[in-house]
């Protein structure tokens, strides 16, 4: 027979801003125990901007920005976009790089022409790639840990201050493993996030948050939004195991995310919910897609699931 209820349900869903890719997940949504949100780009706008720069002696903001913007290459990460636009806004020409490499969940690495790190930045148009150069890294706390690098105290002070304001910090690291600069990036929590979380709580659903970002930033956002449990500095390949851990406690878990790194967790979750503006990989891994990028649609989804499947019984 034609699954009429499901057909109606699908068009109702479309009117509510969601696209259903997996009917079973839609049915399970009414029984959810926990909704796990990715932070950046899901609970926040993900439109980060560089709001602060600090450097060690011998460097300056413009040179640091030139090298950082170069090292980001054409990375699609929002941190990369923010660093490149900060350079553009200040009329800073990105340093020429070779051997760009994306270190998923950690940052980026590239080889920078010697003049970029050893001499003041030249006016635009005159930079040239020369042989040799040095490897420069740009990334967050996970990257520093991986490289075994300590922060000079002035950089640590800057980072702590930024972190307490929920700003994401990334570090520029030279070949000899010295941090030479740090950038603070500010993102804003989506206006709808608080309402979504309050409504989920009212339905008896627990709310968790997962992020590759630092402990400081995660804590600040969790407190601001009243999130029950958060997981910070989670590497991309740990995101799905974090979901699995909650499942092993017997919980029915939804994951809401937008990024490439969220895809395995979206696939692992009982209900994978992708943000419509997210990356293709995330959307392909989701059971349901939130077309309007509105976290409150998670609440509508649970209500719609409950209403639709009650009728079927
Ligand atoms: P999220 O869970 O916040 O979407 P990601 O796994 O994409 O995080 O990234 C985790 C962390 O790795 C970021 O907070 C940042 O510190 C670092 N990082 C990732 N990609 C980049 C990049 N292109 N440039 C600088 N830092 C990066
Ligand atoms: Mg994200």
Domains of the chain listed by start with CATH number: 4-45+189-312 (3.40.50.1000), 49-186 (3.40.1110.10)
Q: What is the CB < 6 Å shell around ligand 1?
A: 38-40, 72, 75, 77, 79-80, 105-108, 138-140, 142, 168, 170, 211-213, 236, 259, 261
| Residue ranges of E strands in 105-205 | 107-112, 134-139, 168-173, 179-186
Tell me the best of 79, 171, 211, 235 to mutate to test the pocket of ligand 1, counting ligand atoms within 8 Å of each CB and taking the most.
79
Residue 81 pLDDT level (bands cut at 50, 70, 90): very high
CA distance 228 to 238: 20
User: In terms of Cα–Cα distance, which of 125, 123, 155 is closest to 140?
Assistant: 155
Residue nearest to atom 19 of ligand 1 (CA): 107
Q: Tell me: the pLDDT tens digits for 127-160?
A: 444 457 899 999 999 999 999 999 999 999 999 9
271 pLDDT higher than 90: yes
User: In terms of Cα–Cα distance, which of 186, 170, 180 is closest to 64?
Assistant: 180
| Ligand nearest to the CA of residue 78, numbered in listed order | 1
CA of 253 to the centre of ligand 1 (A): 24
Starting at the edge strand that comes first in sequence, how are the strands of the sheet with 49-55 ordered? 49-55, 179-186, 168-173, 134-139, 107-112, 97-103
Say how far residue 263 (Cα) sits from the centre of its chain: 12
pLDDT value of residue 5: 52
pLDDT value of residue 313: 58
Q: Tell me: the pLDDT tens digits for 46-75?
A: 878 999 999 999 999 999 999 999 999 989
- Ligand 1 atom at minimal distance to the Cα of residue 105: 6
177 pLDDT higher than 90: no
| Both structure tokens of 53 | 């720069």
User: In terms of Cα–Cα distance, which of 84, 75, 131 is closest to 108?
Assistant: 75
- 266 contacts 257 by C-beta, under 8 angstroms: yes
| Ligand nearest to the CA of residue 138, numbered in listed order | 1
* 33 is a catalytic site residue: no
- Ligand 1 atom at minimal distance to the Cα of residue 102: 23
Q: Please, which residues bridge with residue 181 across strands? A: 55, 172
């Amino acid at each position: 027979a034609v699954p009429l209820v499901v057909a109606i349900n699908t068009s109702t869903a479309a009117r509510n801003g969601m696209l259903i890719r997996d009917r079973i997940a839609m049915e399970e949504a009414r029984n959810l125990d926990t909704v796990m949100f990715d932070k950046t780009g899901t609970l926040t706008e993900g439109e980060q901007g560089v709001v602060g720069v600090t450097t060690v002696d011998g460097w300056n903001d413009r040179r640091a920005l030139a090298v950082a913007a170069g090292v980001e290459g054409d990375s699609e990460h929002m941190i990369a976009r923010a660093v490149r636009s900060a350079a553009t806004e200040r009329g800073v020409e990105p340093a020429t790089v070779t051997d760009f490499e994306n270190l998923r969940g950690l940052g980026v690495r590239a080889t920078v022409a010697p003049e970029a790190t050893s001499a003041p930045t030249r006016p635009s148009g005159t930079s040239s790639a020369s042989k040799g150069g040095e490897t420069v890294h740009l990334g967050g706390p996970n990257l520093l840990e991986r490289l075994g690098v300590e922060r000079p105290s002035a950089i640590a002070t800057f980072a702590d201050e930024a972190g307490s304001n929920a700003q994401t910090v990334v570090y520029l690291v030279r070949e000899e493993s010295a941090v030479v600069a740090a950038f603070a990036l500010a993102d804003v929590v989506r206006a709808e996030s608080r309402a979504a979380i309050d409504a989920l709580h009212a339905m008896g659903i627990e709310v968790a948050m997962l992020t590759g970002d630092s402990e400081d930033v995660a804590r600040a956002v969790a407190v601001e939004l009243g999130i029950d449990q958060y997981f910070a500095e989670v590497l991309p390949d740990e995101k799905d195991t974090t979901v699995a851990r909650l499942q092993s406690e017997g919980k029915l878990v939804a994951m809401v995310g937008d990024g490439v790194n969220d895809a395995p967790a979206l696939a692992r979750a009982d209900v994978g919910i992708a943000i419509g503006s997210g990356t293709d990989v995330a959307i392909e891994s989701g059971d349901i897609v939130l077309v309007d990028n509105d976290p409150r649609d998670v609440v509508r989804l649970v209500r719609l699931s409950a209403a639709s499947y009650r009728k079927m019984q």
